[in-house]
Amino acid sequence: MTSNREQFFASDVERICEVKRNRLQTWIERGWIIPSIQKGEGSGYKNIFSLTDLLSISFFKQAIESGISRDAAAKFLEIFQKTESELFPDKEQWAKMLKPVYYLFFRQGKMVSGHSYIRQGQETTFIKTLEATQADDVIGINVSKLRKRILERV
């Protein structure tokens, strides 16, 4: 399913990404999430989000619900957004992405690093590699699943 919608408001984010408005507002105020179409500064201005913003919000939410600190998740969100914009420069391409895309967080104590990769058959392609660690645990986010869920709800 491909959406023709270009703009989304806080009520849409709440429904599509399952993020409460006050939580979203806190993330925006702290600079962890930045609406790409319009930041609602001042009376009468609303935050307006793009389709890719919805994926970023879902990614950020999933990361912190998996135990990654908000500051670490925000750092990786920047890398994730850059990688997504390089892979999917237009909405049509983004919506048609069928290959599984994962983002892995490797955590050792308070230190966290991350890797993005696309899985195609038995072949794995790493998109971005950060510093390697001897991980105590690994947290994975299935970005393809997040993308699919968003498109189903738009």
* Phi/psi of residue 47, nearest 5 degrees: -75, 130
Residues in a beta bridge with 64:
none
Q: Confirm whether 63 is domain-assigned.
A: yes
Q: Per the domain annotation, does 97 fall within a domain?
A: yes
Domain annotation covers residue 5: no
Does 136 or 3 have the greater pLDDT score? 136
| Domain membership flag for residue 100 | yes
Total of domains in the chain: 1
Give the Cα separation of 80 and 87 in Å (integer). 10
Question: What does the pLDDT read at residue 121?
Answer: 54
Question: 38: how many CB neighbours lie within 10 A of its CB?
Answer: 13
Look at residue 146 and tell me if it is in a domain. Answer: yes
Q: Would residue 2 count as lying in a domain?
A: no
Whether 36 shows a pLDDT value over 70: the answer reads yes
User: Dihedral sign, CA of 110, 113, 116, 122?
Assistant: negative
**pLDDT by residue (tens digit) across 41-68?**
877 889 999 988 999 999 999 999 998 8
What 8-state DSSP symbol labels residue 139? E
Write down the pTM of the prediction: 0.84
For the cut 80, the answer to whether the pLDDT of residue 117 exceeds it is: no
Q: Which residue range forms the structural domain that includes residue 96?
A: 10-153
Confidence of residue 97 (pLDDT cuts 50, 70, 90): low
Angle subtended by helix axes 21-29 and 10-17, to nearest 10: 110
